[in-house]
A and B are shown apart, each in its own frame.
Chain A
């Protein structure tokens, strides 16, 4: 025992804790075994001592000679204190860089994370309290709305199953556990759930859980009689349009084509007219501005020519540059 202690005092120590199942203890589970290993080799560490009983758990402490850790610092005889140890690691390395061994690790802003944790905890506490109060009142607890929810609207399209027929999709074997995760089936992005059939899928889409996840209130706007009227007109016009597009004979097609051409031509004419009118308006505006120069902004003799031209109806040669 004394020998071991003396070794301890001589060596700068590095302590390795191992799982107890590998390294056994002969008598007492609370005993700490210390070994002195001269040649630090990982495989040697992995060899269990045959005399050890492997059943009892223990903590094995291995003390490595300083020579294996720090390049040839064998002259040092006194044990290193924690401060010295830290100072050593802060020393400049062989390449004269100030970077320490662990600089590659991410630096965490501890204050920021502490604030975050505090916020989360306070929120959780609040929710717990609200849940408890709801329970006392005999009600079900619901997460309060944020106010950004939109109203629910009727589905515009049906679930398209036919488009996936014959498609092969690779799904990782362990991707989904139960419904959770992305597996084979209909996948809901917002809730991270996968459903195996359309009935389950549509039930999920109708569920409050899903509606909340996609930010909807689960309420539908009530339509007025005008809305109803407009909708009927809209549907009717759509049907008429479809019917018009669905013609068979050449004569009918020519007729439809002619109507479309006429419409297009009319549109083009209207655009041209608009453009001309806009240009005209701009020109008139320019003339008006030039005539209305105040006396105070005039510099003697500078605008005489412009005024004369403007009064004659000539504004310029189309360039806006002065």
Chain B
């Protein structure tokens, strides 16, 4: 099939009865919840900017309009452009090649494009693919803006990827229940993950005081500005700040593993 429909009518009408399913066996038209879906379709952004968009045009839209991640925001619970474009991706159902372009080539340049692709992969791909495709981006330390119903907060790409892997609700969407990583490792579907921090066994066996006293990381981040541990607003280079966040996140994530 060389063409998409420009609007979403057929996609919504079929509701999985005749249309193709996502690789993880879910119906793409019902992955997002009905109220959210209806808000998306009613929104002006969807009608104006998501009409007749194909896989390449969606990059323009991301670059022009997406400057925060989030589900619905504000009192009116307006769907974010991020969510609208994720819904458009569900309709377009891009192939793995295109997703790789989004993640790697485009993702290096446009961070929200990578975030969108990560979100879409988590929604539609099989568990082993999700782990394989999302885990490399636990090392992407770029900042992201997250907007919720109440306000705006700072988050990071690695944190977002981790949320996608561990949480069950992200961006106004209930993520499908994935089997745990340990289970897939036991079934020999996945190789055990090697954390960038090193072998988890070694970390546990090493002197516990070093880990507890936060000195394990302190040794690396020797340039960290004084007073930052007390939550003071100290001007510091962005990279270091991100490093710290990253480190914590990695630790949390690794502790989940056996």
Contact = CB atoms under 8 A, between A and B. Distances in A.
Interface string A193-236: 00000110011011000010000001111111101111110011
Contacts of A203: 47
Nearest to A208: B7
B169 interface: no
Interface string B91-106: 0000101101110011
Contacts of B57: 154, 223, 231
Contacts of B109: 232, 236
B4 A228 contact: no
B48 interface: yes
A252 B106 CA distance: 28
Given A155-B51, A222-B1, A232 B95 contact: no
B48 A222 contact: no
Contact of A222 (B2, B97, B106, B110): B2
Interface string B49-77: 10111111101100100000000000000
B3 interface: yes
A18 interface: no
B101 to A, nearest CB: 5
A241 to B, nearest CB: 14
Given A151-B3, A220-B4, A202 B54 contact: no
Contact of A221 (B2, B59, B106): B2
A232 B105 contact: yes
Interface string A273-312: 0000000000000000000000000000000000000000
A158 B48 CA distance: 8
Contacts of A235: 59-60, 63, 110
Contact of B44 (A152, A202, A220): A202
B210 interface: no
B15 interface: no
A203 B43 CA distance: 11
B5 A202 contact: no
B52 A220 contact: yes
A159 interface: yes
Given A154-B57, A235-B63, A220 B5 contact: yes
A153 interface: yes
Interface string B199-211: 0000000000000
Contacts of A219: 3-6
Given A199-B47, A202-B44, A229 B7 contact: no
Nearest to B95: A225
Interface residues of B, number: 31
Q: Contact residue range for chain A? A: 20 to 34
Contacts of A199: 44, 47
Interface in B1-25: 1-7
Interface in A131-190: 151-155, 158-159
Contacts of A159: 48
B3 A206 contact: no
B56 A223 contact: yes
Given A206-B7, A219-B5, A155 B48 contact: yes
Interface string A41-64: 000000000000000000000000
A153 B6 CA distance: 8
A158 B7 CA distance: 17
B102 to A, nearest CB: 7
A222 B55 contact: yes
B85 to A, nearest CB: 12
Interface of A: 151-155, 158-159, 198-199, 202-203, 205-206, 211, 218-225, 227-232, 235-236, 239
Given A206-B6, A222-B55, A228-B102, 10 more contacts: A154-B53, A158-B48, A158-B49, A202-B48, A206-B7, A220-B4, A220-B6, A220-B54, A228-B98, A232-B59
Interface of B: 1-7, 44, 47-49, 51-57, 59-60, 63, 95, 97-98, 100-102, 105-106, 109-110
Q: Which 8 A-B pairs have the closest CB atoms?
A: A225-B97, A223-B56, A219-B3, A223-B55, A231-B56, A154-B57, A232-B106, A152-B6
24 contacts: A154-B51, A154-B53, A154-B54, A155-B49, A159-B48, A199-B47, A203-B47, A211-B6, A218-B5, A218-B7, A220-B3, A220-B6, A221-B2, A222-B55, A223-B98, A224-B98, A225-B97, A228-B55, A228-B56, A228-B101, A230-B56, A231-B60, A232-B105, A235-B59
